Amino acid sequence: MRPSFAPYPAARSRRLRRTPAIRAMVAETGLSPADLIWPVFVREGEGVREEVPSMPGVARLSIDNVVRAAEEAAELGIPAIALFPYTPEPCKSADCAEAWNPDNLVNRATRAIKQAVPELAVMLDVALDPYNALGHDGIVQDGVVLNDETLVALERQALAQAEAGADILGPSDMMDGRIGVIRQALEREGHKDVLIMSYAAKYASAFYGPFRDAVGAAGALKGDKKTYQMDPANSDEALREVARDISEGADMVMVKPGMPYLDVCQRVAAEFGVPTFAYQVSGEYAMIAGAARAGWLDAERTMLESLMAFKRAGCSGVLTYFAPEVARLLNGAG
């Protein structure tokens, strides 16, 4: 039971806001580099840094530069990096076999990072879209995204990623039953310590647009992802998805996108009490970075405010393309 509050003037809310020291003392939420996961786009080549036009400030990096980024992340106190491949067109197919190639881009990059910066956690996306000639997260037959056939492919992909040394697998495909299948395969093959951060409540969102440019999937995608990603109208359904993924063996769960779904973040974190992450996705990044570039928003303050919001909603952390910039700010290095 809350006590009844004194009326004005015995109570003056502004006393607690008067100075920076007092505000810091009573802040309910904090943001630190340890709360951040940095998503990075990997491409072929050497010494390459190729800007993504729809994500100003973000670039596709060749593996040598990804390793440099990983070293930077570790120095900044960022605990994890998440890798996404810009797959060369000839490697895309209907069966998505490149997904479980032990030497595909993300698997090679993972090995290189784990050798150079073993203490940094590497997270990999388990989903077929970067390898699918049709741009979907699952195997497509006659225009239909097949669930159970896709699970077989996801299992192979997950095992190849675990073999490459990934610390965290992030199934982002939204097929039914995938967490259970992946967890069982990991146990069976001796990867019992590999974490699963399930993209549990992932919505069919227009905010993924710039990401699809970045990974080269935008042109390929036929139709939309509404038969597997969630309807933005729903929030009870998110709780059911999360409950299922936890019961199938997910260690952590994610809500995606982030800011338009803060209500879902809060419900999930409050209801389940498992480590809950938000993905501040490419479109959210583009809005802030684009407006900042145009001089319409203050970049630093907007980034920090947008990320603090996730902590306030109860999230353990956030995947954000702003990770290195924000970590530098939080470390006082500007």
Q: Which residues have a catalytic role annotated?
A: 202, 256
Query: What is the C-alpha to C-alpha distance for residues 85 and 94, in angstroms, rounded to an integer?
Result: 17
Query: What is the C-alpha to C-alpha distance for residues 291 and 322, in angstroms, rounded to an integer?
Result: 14
Which residue lies nearer to ligand PBG by CB, 125 or 155?
A: 125
Residues 6+ apart with CB under 8 A from 257: 203, 205, 207, 208, 279, 280, 281, 283, 284
Which residue lies nearer to ligand PBG by CB, 57 or 71?
A: 57
Query: What is the C-alpha to C-alpha distance for residues 144 and 1, in angstroms, rounded to an integer?
Result: 53
CA 273 to chain centre: 19
Give least dist CB 234 to ligand PBG, A.
Answer: 17
For residue 3, give the 3-state DSSP assignment: coil
Query: What is the C-alpha to C-alpha distance for residues 119 and 112, in angstroms, rounded to an integer?
Result: 13
Phi, psi of 307 (to 5 degrees): -80, -35
Which residue lies nearer to ligand PBG by CB, 119 or 231?
A: 231
By the criterion CB under 6 A, which residues form the site for ligand PBG?
A: 125, 127, 129, 137, 172-173, 208, 211-212, 225, 281-282
Query: What is the C-alpha to C-alpha distance for residues 202 and 13, in angstroms, rounded to an integer?
Result: 39
Give least dist CB 309 to ligand PBG, A.
Answer: 17
CA 30 to chain centre: 20
Which residue lies nearer to ligand PBG by CB, 63 or 106?
A: 106
Give least dist CB 213 to ligand PBG, A.
Answer: 10
Helix axes 178-188 and 147-164, enclosed angle (nearest 10) = 40
Which residue lies nearer to ligand PBG by CB, 234 or 271?
A: 234
For residue 303, give the 3-state DSSP assignment: helix
Q: Which among 114, 252, 257 has a CA at the least distance from the CA of 171?
A: 252
Query: What is the C-alpha to C-alpha distance for residues 94 and 217, in angstroms, rounded to an integer?
Result: 14
Give least dist CB 208 to ligand PBG, A.
Answer: 4
Which residue lies nearer to ligand PBG by CB, 7 or 290?
A: 290
Give least dist CB 284 to ligand PBG, A.
Answer: 8
Whether the upstream peptide bond of residue 85 has omega within 30° of 0, thus cis, is: no
Q: Which among 165, 61, 65 has a CA at the least distance from the CA of 118?
A: 165
Give least dist CB 283 to ligand PBG, A.
Answer: 6
Give least dist CB 169 to ligand PBG, A.
Answer: 13
> Tokens for 18?
């008067």
> Tokens for 254?
């994610």
Which residue lies nearer to ligand PBG by CB, 114 or 225?
A: 225
